[in-house]
Chains A and B, each alone.
Chain A
Amino acid sequence: MMSFLHSYGWEVGRLTFEHLWLTASAMLLAVGVGLPLGILLTRRRRLARPVIGFANVMQTVPSLALFGLLLPVPWLGENAARLAIVALTGYALLPILRNTYVGIGNVDPELIDVANALGMSNIQRLFKVELPLAASVILAGLRTATVTCVGVATIAAAIGAGGLGELIFRGVASVDNGLVLAGAIPAALLALGADAILGWLEGRLSVRRS
């Protein structure tokens, strides 16, 4: 064990950091796209079905296939990390998009009515009423997306984007279970940690009603 840590410790650390970097970048992008898009859909409900449907389809494409399919795309294919981040964003998009849309859509219509009757503008209603009341639902989506992302990011090693998947792939290829675990355990811990932190935040943001 000690000799294993001695020879691989530094590498596990570096790959964990890489893994975090891939996941965090993808999450930032996914929030940047999914949150405004989800809000837009609550204003243009007719678009909701096709857009959420598309995100749904994205979710069903096997990750290995998606990485492969994106490889020949001009700008993306040049840089493995870039490609991995874009693909991961695709996976993270659906939960964020859907939960934003559903969370805002489920705000009590009477409260929307009151907001309007108080003379709130569309933007004021969004920031003062809809987003705070939908926050815990949106965060639950973020949580699902993060955990998915941490998992799928291990596959990114297949196209040379790095991350903890590298140890796993190498371990599988050389039938070295220790190496597989050295990648899998930190990846699992990352997922659990992110889940716990976001879960805590979700609890903090939920609005007590009775």
Chain B
Amino acid sequence: MPTVGVEFAKVSYTLPGGADGHTGRSLLHEVSLQLDAGTTTALLGRSGAGKTTLLRMVNDLVSPTSGEVRVGGKATRDYETVPLRRSIGYVIQETGLFPHMTAERNAGMALELAGRPKAEIATRVREVLGLAGLDYNEFRERYPWQLSGGQRQRVGLARALATDPMVLLMDEPFGALDPLTRAEMQTMLRGLLEKVGKTVLLVTHDLDEALYLAQRVVFLSEGKVVADLPPEEIVGSDNAYVRDYVSAVHRAVSA
């Protein structure tokens, strides 16, 4: 029996109501989900289905209105926020790097915040940049504007890995990249995840990316889980949501 990395227990989220007392829009409705430690789970669904909200609950950027999220068996609300966040890597689209910091400082930020000695940070940054496929000596002094989209994303990934977190949250990490760079990044990430073994929650619109990287694919629609399948069962599934998604993506091929 695999250990549970992250667990959502009947998690709901309702936006705060207006000043006139009407209740806010419900974004998530009693979502229950267990992510096994060391595996990758992809979250798919339309924009507005609640994917990002669910992901942001793991590091408590959003708190559930009811239910709880557990990380390593402990509810997020029982953690102190700062240590919880530092134990979770977070990767978003390419805007996520600090523009006024070099690749090295960006990648080592979590360690800098933890007050680690400079030499240790440098060693670790060399390691994680390497894991993400960037040469330390070549890239350490570059600012984000001196990097390509793919390179920026690699630095972002390195930053998320620097503290060797137990959980990695990735919100459309490759959404802004061209298809070729994106494919390279997916290959790199898959190899990397095989090496480091993290509990990964990946929000994506890209079905192929989900199938390639995840051991499990969860479909959200209007704040509810509507399908939860291993990747090999996606194509050919008789679940209506999954069928719609697959046929929308592969329309050109199947027409």
Contacts and interface: CB of A to CB of B under 8 A. Distances in A.
Nearest to B114: A119
Interface string A118-149: 11110010001100110000000000000000
Nearest to B112: A128
Interface in A31-90: none
Interface in B93-152: 93, 95-96, 98-100, 109-110, 113, 143-145
A118 B88 CA distance: 8
A116 interface: yes
A74 B98 CA distance: 50
Contacts of B85: 116-119
B96 A118 contact: no
Given A114-B90, A208-B145, A119 B95 contact: no
Interface in B59-107: 59, 61, 81-86, 88, 90, 92-93, 95-96, 98-100
Contacts of A118: 85-86, 90, 109-110, 113, 159
A113 B81 CA distance: 14
A114 B92 contact: yes
Contact of B86 (A119, A133, A208): A119
B173 to A, nearest CB: 13
B90 A133 contact: no
B96 A124 contact: no
A119 B110 contact: yes
Contacts of B96: 110-111, 114
Interface in B145-179: 145, 159, 169
A209 interface: yes
B95 A120 contact: no
A110 B109 CA distance: 16
A108 B144 CA distance: 15
A111 B98 contact: yes
A173 B126 CA distance: 72
Contact of B90 (A108, A117, A132): A117
Contacts of A133: 98-100
Interface of A: prevailing SS:
helix
A210 interface: yes
A24 B86 CA distance: 43
B162 to A, nearest CB: 10
A119 B110 CA distance: 8
Contact of A120 (B99, B113, B143, B169): B113
Interface string A93-119: 000000000000000101101101111
Given A114-B90, A117-B59, A117-B85, A208 B109 contact: no
A111 B95 contact: yes
B60 to A, nearest CB: 9
A192 interface: no
Contacts of A119: 81-86, 110, 113
A210 B144 CA distance: 8
A181 interface: no
B109 to A, nearest CB: 6
B98 A129 contact: yes
Contacts of A116: 61, 85
Contacts of A210: 145
Interface of A: 108, 110-111, 113-114, 116-121, 124, 128-129, 132-133, 207-210
Interface of B: 59, 61, 81-86, 88, 90, 92-93, 95-96, 98-100, 109-110, 113, 143-145, 159, 169
Closest 7 CB pairs of A and B: A119-B86, A119-B85, A117-B90, A207-B100, A119-B82, A110-B95, A132-B100
Given A128-B109, A207-B100, 15 more contacts: A108-B95, A110-B92, A113-B61, A113-B92, A117-B85, A117-B88, A118-B86, A118-B110, A119-B82, A119-B83, A119-B84, A119-B85, A129-B98, A133-B98, A133-B99
27 contacts: A110-B93, A110-B95, A111-B95, A111-B96, A113-B92, A114-B90, A114-B96, A116-B61, A116-B85, A117-B85, A117-B90, A117-B169, A118-B85, A118-B113, A118-B159, A119-B81, A119-B83, A119-B86, A119-B110, A128-B98, A129-B98, A207-B99, A207-B100, A208-B145, A209-B99, A209-B144, A209-B145
